[in-house]
Homo-oligomer: A and B are copies of this chain.
Amino acid sequence: MTFKYENVYINDTSTITGPYERKGPLSTYFDKSYDDFYFGMKTWEQAEEKLITESVDLLLYKLARTRFDVDLHIGGDLLNQIVASNYAASTLGIPFFGIYSACATSVEGLILASNMIESKQIKNCICTASSHNNAAEKQFRYPVEYGGPKPKTDTFTTTGAASAYLSYNKRGIKVESATVGTVTDYGIKDAFHMGAVMAPAAASTLYDHLKDTKREADYYDLILTGDLGIYGRKIFKDYMKTEYGISLKNYDDTACMIFAEDNKEAYAGGSGPACAPLVTYSYIFDKMKKGELNRVLLIATGALMSPTMVNQKLSIPSIAHLISLEVTE
């Protein structure tokens, strides 16, 4: 399912991160980074909630607007009951839609917002996505303090919140089109290799997009997957070549960009709903505004992993949603 837009723009964005992202190569591109994991709050869940509300307030400050000027807020995160987003929405007080598609959440939000702006059902929307390393590790695997060893294919959940303000004012980055993903399941049960789980979903959505828009992959200056990591990135490229006969040249993965590639603590790279938008809204948008990139295709990838279903020995499904971003000025 591919949507085409004429009148949707991401006018501005905000990015706030935790300490590991601050130590990474994109540090100077983020609006703000914290040195610890609590940000003055008592628990990690409340810390994540604070990241979201702070990123929205920062975004509104940049736009010289208030919460009362915003028609709609769409957001989600990794926590059970998307609790960080719900509590943040309670503080923000903007009409709210909660969404969940794991690390594909950011682009699901952008698509839903773009559809409503294109049709003028709303004037503007704020989309949020966030994750918190310690809160996510505790929930999906083990408390970080256990110090359990992990295989090198594992990724490291980013800590951060990324917000985008969309409207039909022709300012900023244009949302040109989008393709909604289908849930895929290739039978993979390894909860420490999300790159392998998500690569086929990314490939399937990219293939659908190129078919629906009758474009070649090199139409885009850059194709960016969300958080496949070092090994998933290779699987995805190989799979595109062998399954669909498509060679990707201008391609990278945000998981491999947010931390230094030789950072052993980050294993195969970053992950979490915050990973793709943190990199895109800061470093990539900066390159677009400077004219170094004009057409960027962002494929956010989500492993729909549930500890309950992994314990039931079921395989892990995944989904990928994509959005085409353009500089028009």
Interface residues of A (CB under 8 A from B): 1, 3, 42-43, 45-46, 71-72, 76, 79-83, 86-87, 89-90, 93-102, 108, 111-112, 115-116, 118-119, 121-122, 180-185, 304-309, 312, 314, 317, 319
Contacts and interface: CB of A to CB of B under 8 A. Distances in A.
Nearest to A309: B83
B317 A87 contact: yes
A314 B83 CA distance: 12
A39 to B, nearest CB: 16
A138 to B, nearest CB: 9
Given A119-B118, A312-B45, A317 B90 contact: yes
22 contacts: A1-B71, A42-B312, A45-B309, A76-B100, A79-B306, A80-B306, A80-B307, A81-B100, A81-B102, A81-B305, A83-B304, A83-B306, A83-B309, A86-B183, A86-B304, A89-B182, A89-B183, A94-B182, A97-B108, A97-B180, A100-B100, A115-B116
Contacts of A115: 115-116, 119, 121
A86 B108 CA distance: 14
Contact of A90 (B46, B72, B118, B185): B185
Nearest to A80: B80
Given A45-B306, A81-B304, A96-B180, 15 more contacts: A1-B95, A46-B312, A46-B314, A83-B304, A83-B308, A86-B306, A87-B309, A89-B182, A89-B183, A89-B317, A94-B182, A96-B319, A99-B100, A112-B112, A119-B119
B83 A181 contact: no
Q: How many copies does the complex hold?
A: 2
Nearest to A78: B81
Main secondary structure of the interface of A (DSSP, over half): mixed
Interface centre among A100, A101, A108, A307 (most CB of B within 10 A): A100
Contacts of A121: 3, 115, 118-119
Contacts of A42: 312
Nearest to A140: B81
Nearest to A97: B108
B80 A308 contact: yes
A308 B45 contact: yes
Nearest to A302: B98
Contacts of A305: 81
A183 B79 CA distance: 17
Contact of A95 (B82, B83, B180): B180
Contacts of A185: 90
B100 A184 contact: no
A308 B89 contact: no
A43 B122 CA distance: 42
